[in-house]
Structure 1
Amino acid sequence: MSLLSGSGAARPGGGPAPFDSGLSALFARLGAVLVETPLLQRAEPYLDTAGEDLRRRIFLTRGEGGETLCLRPDFTIPVCLAHIEGAAGLPRRYAYNGPVFRQRRDEAAEFRQAGIENLGETDRAAADARALAEALAALRACGFEAPVEVVVGDQALFEAFLTALDLPAGWQRRLVRCFGRDDLLRGALAALSREATSDPLDLDPTVRALVRDGAVAPLSDHVRTMMEEGGLPPNRGRSPDEIAERLIEKMALASTRLRSAYLDRLGAFLALDCPLAEAPARLEALEASSGVEFGAALALLRARNAALLASGVDLAPFRYRAAFGRPIDYYTGLVFEIGAATGEPLVAGGRYDRLVSYLGAPEPIPAVGFSLWLDRIAAALEPKP
């Protein structure tokens, strides 16, 4: 049966859930197809793409065939899989409204999310602006009229900055994985700022010498010999080549120290926190002072701001924070959260251009979307004593 079956209207007990009528009307007006996806999902796509923060919160189980399954922790991945299965044309817009299951501190593990996923729109600036505008409209459709704050970050700008610093590829990957996780990012920057005071890896002297030489082939041969002497089967775990490549990368990471001038530039970028309307000029000034070029990522930010203004969105509540990210690994560009002045975000989303092809689409599909936490919105609307 197609994953796109159903209307999404069924509710436990047969009654409508809060905000259903307003959101259904909005989705219809925006031309988003309302879809259902199974509550029980294959866990592998989440384990591979969603990041550690989400992985440790999902509820796992085993299928009859031994496959790892999970209760649906979000809708983005199931909607993308449904699109691939249905082989629908592009661009295509999907809406959803239903329960998800995720461990949360001081909040219920079962809660409702609604949102829109926009697949295949090639004008990324216009699609990003549309996602932000529709996220605000969805809040209003739920009856939330209070002032909000919109925090915007950009994974692509961060990656462009790292590329310009000419860090080793392993360090770039590590810092990208830390983006949006302030504690991890601080730890990684601290490691980059200090000299190694001792051998960073506790290795056999022969292995250490081969690792320092950086040649994969002789190190792989040595690892293969050690595995054979230890009686380890060749098809168990990582191959000798993979072990050799990983050891060389770990040595490069542990031995790298970022020059203080570069570290200062990275710190200046991550400290940038300003009204979104001012962000292009502030980033241009950083380019001029640091010699770093943001290229297409900065051009996209300018175009996105212009598209927001052209659609009538007031930029006054929007802030750009260079260090802001969301702890989900599949984001590639825009990331954002919308909330009241205090408390958890009510809406969040971003761009994930690599996810759909990773999940099995025959070619890359640009994609952006957002989700509303309906339980938080309902709590925010409750009368305060």
Structure 2
Amino acid sequence: KIKIKNTSIKVSDVSLFQNLIDSLKIPERWKMRIKRHFWRPQYFEDLLNRLETNSDIDPAVVNIDKKKFSEMKNLDQKNEIANRKVSEILSRFDRKIKDPRSFGENKKIVKIIREFLKINCSINKLEQVLKSFVKKNKLNNNVFKDLSTIKNLSKINSKTIFSTNFGRDIEYYTGIVFEIYNSSKKEIARGGRYDGLLKSLGSKKNISAVGAAINLNNLKV
């Protein structure tokens, strides 16, 4: 048995970020895009800038696209343009027309996302911090409805820190992620929950799974 004194733990929960994005009033395609690229911080920030400023939207191009959209409605829906059926192109553009971005609202939404990713507090204070965050930004009270698993971590180590911006380096995590450090602040273990990994590899359904790795070089017996 190995005993290590003065350990500290850092945790996050990827599902909280997913729940937040699902609750925001932005186009569905943008919700999927933001969640998909959460693991790529630099590109993720670029997406937020585009959402906030609409810098990638040229009104002149939009008007041209709308004209082409009207013209394509008269084409045979089974024809292909650049290896895509006309019906597929029209369907996608129709979704964009019916679910447009809102410049004013998007600035507020990006501010909410950035504020969420700055949360860094003791696990004991997490519930109150999230409640304050929800109230301040007028979000649905159920957006972070189940924190029982996270709160139980405080029973293991009172020094546990929760950071919403932590654990963004491994894409298949779906829930809690963690790292454990020794008294010298060197990582001795890390891991997380990845319920969707096996399905992404061919399984017919999600299978609950948790994994971890220990850094033997930083253990002191």
State the distance in 2 between where 1:288 and 1:180 align. Answer: 27
Shift of 1:174: 1.5
Q: Which residue of 1 aligns with 2:144?
A: 298
**CA–CA separation in structure 2 for the residues paired with 1:200 and 1:145:** 61
**Partner residue in 1 for 2:25:** 166
- The yes-or-no answer on 1:369 pairing with 2:210 is yes
RMSD across aligned positions (CA):
4.0
Note the residue ranges of structure 1 that are not aligned, 5 or more in a row: 1-140, 228-236
* 2:196 corresponds to: 354
Report the CA distance between 1:163 and its aligned residue.
2.0
- Is 1:328 matched up with 2:154? no
- The one-letter amino acid of 2:120's match is D
Is 2:134 the counterpart of 1:287? yes
Query: Which residue in the other structure is 1:218 paired with?
Result: 73
SS of the equivalent of 2:4 reads coil
Of structures 1 and 2, the larger Rg is shown by: 1
Letter in 2 for 1:352: Y
CA contact (8 A) 2:11 2:161 kept: yes
What is the CA-CA distance between 1:372 and the residue it aligns to?
A: 1.0
- Of residues 42, 67, 81, the one that matches 1:209 is 67
Shift of 1:370: 2.2
**Alignment CA distance shift 1:382-1:349 (3 Å):** closer
Give the counterpart letter for 2:135 in structure 1.
A
Alignment of 1:307 onto 2:148: no
Q: Does the 8 Å CA contact 2:14/2:174 hold for their aligned counterparts?
A: yes
Q: Measure the CA separation in 2 of the matches of 1:329 and 1:201.
A: 37
Percent identical pairs in the alignment equals: 23
TM-score by structure 2 length? 0.74
CA distance in 1, matches of 2:79, 2:150: 55
> Is 1:189 equivalent to 2:34 in the alignment?
no
For residues 270-285 of structure 1, the aligned pairs below 5 Å read 270-285=117-132
**8 A contact 1:220–1:244 mirrored in 2:** no
Task: Determine whether 1:380 maps to 2:198.
Answer: no
In structure 1, C-alpha distance between the alignment counterparts of 2:200 and 2:75, rounded to whole Å:
29
Greater relative contact order structure (CA < 8 Å, 6+ sep): 2
Pick aligned residue for 2:109 from 262, 265, 278? 262
Contact 1:200 1:254 in 2 (8 A): no
| Whole-Å separation in 2 of the counterparts to 1:190 and 1:313 | 39
Quick one: structure 1 residues 209 and 166, their matched pair in 2 at CA, closer, same or farther if it must change by over 3 Å? Answer: same
Report the CA distance between 1:242 and its aligned residue: 4.5
CA distance in 2, matches of 1:253, 1:329: 28
From the superposition, tell whether residues 275 and 285 of structure 1 become closer, same or farther in structure 2 (CA, over 3 Å): same
Give the Cα–Cα distance (whole angstroms) in 1 for the partners of residues 39 and 133 of structure 2.
21
Q: Contact between 2:124 and 2:151, CA under 8 Å: does it hold in 1?
A: no
Could you state the TM-score of these two structures normalised by the residue count of structure 1?
A: 0.46
Question: Post-superposition shift, 1:266?
Answer: 2.3
Structure 2: state its 5+ residue gaps.
none
- Quote how far apart the aligned CAs of 1:251 are: 8.7
Q: Counterparts in 2 of 1:94-105, with a 5 A limit?
A: none
Cα displacement (A) at 1:200? 8.1
Q: CA deviation at 1:250?
A: 7.9
Alpha-carbon distance change, 181 to 249 in structure 1, aligned in 2, over 3 angstroms: farther
Q: Which moved more, 1:256-265 or 1:279-288?
A: 256-265
Change in Cα spacing, 1:314 to 1:362, as seen in structure 2 (3 Å) is same
